[in-house]
């Protein structure tokens, strides 16, 4: 994404608006847009950062980051690293539980298990093990903006 194109479009918009006035108004708009150029670019980058945070909050797994390729920002989806399969090898599968599910959820569980090539029972046990164990705190918040920049 090239921020410079958006900044230039904003400068042109300001020039068109100023054209309604006299020549001194047009000159003032030109000087103003030149002075605001870096501020406009910075504000657009802030908007991209906010968009990345908002999108990240809507994802179940992964996050969106703003990264720079030269001076051009990119929105990048970063997927969480897959956790290794958790096995309950220490215990035999002897305990039983009766669980009633909506048919639509059952279909989704079967699809998730099929994607991973395991039975629904194994998939559910692994999911429950992942979520039943306390996870170490990373000390940070899920609402963070990561990446690198260049000035």
User: What is the tens place of the pLDDT at every residue in 34-88?
Assistant: 888 878 878 888 888 888 888 888 888 888 888 877 777 888 888 876 555 555 5
Residue 135 has pLDDT above 70, yes or no: no
pLDDT-based confidence at 146, cuts 50/70/90?
A: low
- Domain limits, the chain: 1-80, 82-134
Other beta carbons less than 10 A from residue 18's beta carbon: 19
Q: How many CB atoms lie within 10 A of CB 28?
A: 14
Closest CA to 6 of 35, 32, 42, 30: 42
Query: Backbone phi, then psi, for 112, in 5-degree steps?
Result: -65, -45
DSSP 90: T
- pLDDT of 142 over the 60 cut: no
Kindly state the tokens that stand for 31: 């000087």
Write down the pLDDT at residue 149. 58
* Residue that the structure tokens 């039943």 belong to: 132
| Max avg pLDDT among 29-38, 83-92, 141-150 | 29-38
């Amino acid at each position: 994404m090239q921020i410079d194109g958006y900044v230039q479009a904003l400068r042109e918009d300001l020039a068109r608006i100023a054209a309604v006035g006299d020549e001194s108004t047009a000159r003032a708009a030109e000087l103003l847009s030149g002075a605001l150029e870096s501020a406009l670019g910075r504000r657009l980058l802030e908007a991209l950062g906010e968009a990345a945070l908002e999108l990240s909050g809507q994802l179940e797994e992964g996050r969106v980051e703003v990264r720079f390729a030269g001076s051009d920002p990119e929105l990048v989806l970063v997927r969480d690293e897959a956790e290794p399969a958790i096995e309950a090898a220490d215990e035999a599968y002897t305990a039983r539980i009766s669980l009633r599910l909506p048919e639509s959820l059952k279909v989704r569980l079967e699809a998730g298990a099929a994607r991973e090539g395991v039975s629904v029972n194994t998939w559910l046990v692994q999911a429950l093990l992942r979520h039943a164990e306390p996870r170490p705190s990373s000390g940070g918040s899920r609402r963070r903006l990561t990446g690198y920049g260049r000035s």
